[in-house]
Amino acid sequence: MVNKKKSFSEKLNNFIWGEPIPVLSAHDLDTVQQLDGKLNELLALLKTPPSAAGPVNFQPGLVSSPPALSPDQNGDGDLAEQVRKLAKTQFKANTLQEKQLAQQEETIASLQKALERQEKQAAELAQQRQQAVDAAQEELIKSLLPVLDGLDAAFESGRGQVLKQPMPADTRRAIIAWLDGVRLARMRLLDVLKTYNVTPIPTIGQAFDPHRHVAVAADTSGRAPEGVILSEDRRGYATPDKVLRFAEVVVARSK
């Protein structure tokens, strides 16, 4: 059985539509358009009908027969090869572009991870620095507490002498003036501590709180309900978040 030879346009359609061709660049499209123009000329030549006057009789020696066109001359093989090359070129360009895009995405992801690590390290350093500052402030405040204790003791002692001990008027006035100086120094020191949110822990008349108070003695005289603080042996200090020193107190207790 003799296979029917396909026309040039059928071969071209089979080639073009047989498999998808990637999107071509502007230069490649211009080349394809030029090839398409040549193809149209060839198709027009092949489709020209014979003369209506009947068959042409060629006489030997006068007019020679038209030479047969080879596949290379009719443009079939050249067009197919050029289109195939264009498709391969576009495929390689797309593949290269995809690889470059993947590399860029990988680079961006690496940079983002590095930035996250740097931000985490910066946050950790800031936290460590703040902890160091807080620890230094706490040590400074704790070193000031014995000074406050000394001022409190001096004030209470001087006040007791003024109230209980007989003395000349001049001496009494001198002691009172000295007590005013102690009181002012104590108030200024308390103001400094207040700037760091450090305040004395309330004691007398308050309910005993084991998280803020330490019971150094118990009073069973019944002067106050059980668990109420009657007196303070040493003042305690605290911030809103932490107790710097527990208050030492005497607590009422039933017999």
Per-residue pLDDT tens over the stretch 133-161: 989 989 999 999 999 999 999 998 888 88
Q: Indicate whether 45 pLDDT > 80.
A: no
pLDDT band at 63; cut points 50, 70, 90: very low
Closest CA to 231 of 243, 221, 218: 218
The arithmetic mean of pLDDT across residues 178-194, rounded, is 92
- How far out from the chain centre does Cα 231 lie? 54
Highest mean pLDDT among 104-113, 155-164, 229-238: 229-238
Question: Which CA distances in Å does 209 have to 109, 236, 247, 253?
Answer: 55, 12, 10, 14
- Can you count the helices (H) and strands (E) in the chain? 4, 6
pLDDT band at 22; cut points 50, 70, 90: very low
- How far out from the chain centre does Cα 18 lie? 51
Residue 104 has a CB neighbour count (10 Å cut-off) of: 10
Q: Indicate whether 250 pLDDT > 80.
A: yes
pLDDT band at 254; cut points 50, 70, 90: confident
**What distance in Å separates the CA atoms of residue 145 and residue 151, rounded to the nearest whole number?**
10
Summarised one tens digit per residue, pLDDT across range 111-135 is 999 999 999 999 999 999 999 998 9
Residue 83 has a CB neighbour count (10 Å cut-off) of: 19
The arithmetic mean of pLDDT across residues 206-223, rounded, is 93
Question: Which CA distances in Å does 57 have to 29, 60, 76, 83?
Answer: 45, 10, 30, 40
**In contact, 32 and 78? CB cutoff 8 Å:** no
**Domain annotation for the chain: domains and CATH numbers:** 198-255 (2.30.22.10)
Give percent of the chain with pLDDT exceeding 70: 70
Closest CA to 215 of 232, 201, 196, 202: 232
